[in-house]
Chains A and B, each alone.
Chain A
Amino acid sequence: EDQVTQSPEALRLQEGESSSLNCSYTVSGLRGLFWYRQDPGKGPEFLFTLYSAGEEKEKERLKATLTKKESFLHITAPKPEDSATYLCAVTNSGYALNFGKGTSLLVTP
């Protein structure tokens, strides 16, 4: 069965304290791995798609990387506005995204 496991479940950082979120997956024939950000009471907001091992993408303070078994979302010098739940999802089909349960990030001033 395809599975996506995100760790840690929750993370508290001080402003400026860099860290990484992990997404481990077991899926055959990966077609894409996605990172989303979700703020309370809102829908997920697309951040990145990674297609193959070794690929990296960056956006402001966020950098996503992909290996054959996991992806990392690195957050460099985070700010309080980076506080949100970060969701990872994978697909090996023509339609379905298989989501992890998310990592809740809190960045304090």
Chain B
Amino acid sequence: NAGVTQTPKFRVLKTGQSMTLLCAQDMNHEYMYWYRQDPGMGLRLIHYSVGEGTTAKGEVPDGYNVSRLKKQNFLLGLESAAPSQTSVYFCASSYGGGAFEQFFGPGTRLTVL
């Protein structure tokens, strides 16, 4: 049982480049989330999904897109990376919404030059 996995672990991009971060979970969870963590800011929700084929915006969605084509996978895309998107990105999943605990992946450290 791997839990929540994320690829890649590290990535360096130049301004304007695009990339996709992959999140996979093997717990059969319905809900999945993408957060970013910045020094002094805490974790902030980017996008989330309440089931296969659904996505919704979180607190800081601008500059990101997501897709949930399969229940176990949640993709986060950056179409044109900006230095302000330098951050650590965490994926999480939960059995349901509300007060169900969220389980987090190990994170992807992204640097945009």
Which residues of A are in contact with B by a Cβ distance under 8 Å? 4, 31-32, 34, 36, 41-46, 49, 51, 87, 89, 91, 93-97, 99-102
Contact stretch, chosen from B14-22, B37-45, B69-77, B78-86: B37-45
Contacts of B31 in A (CB 8 A): 95
Tell me if A42 and B99 are in contact (CB < 8 A).
Answer: no
Q: With the chains together, A58 CA to B97 CA distance in Å?
A: 24
Interface centre among B42, B59, B104, B106 (most CB of A within 10 A): B42
Q: With CB as the reference atom, state the residue of chain A lying closest to B96.
A: A94
Known: A46-B104, A91-B98. 5 other contacts (CB 8 A): A42-B106, A43-B4, A51-B99, A95-B48, A101-B41
Contacts of A44 in B (CB 8 A): 43, 90, 104
In the complex, whether B102 has a CB less than 8 A from a CB of chain A is: yes
Q: Kindly count the residue-residue contacts between A and B in the assembled complex, taking CB atoms under 8 Å apart.
A: 61
CB distance from B2 to the nearest CB of A (A): 13
CB distance from B94 to the nearest CB of A (A): 8
CB distance from B102 to the nearest CB of A (A): 6
Contact partner of B102 (CB less than 8 A), chosen from A4, A94, A97, is: A97
Contact partner of A43 (CB less than 8 A), chosen from B59, B99, B106, is: B106
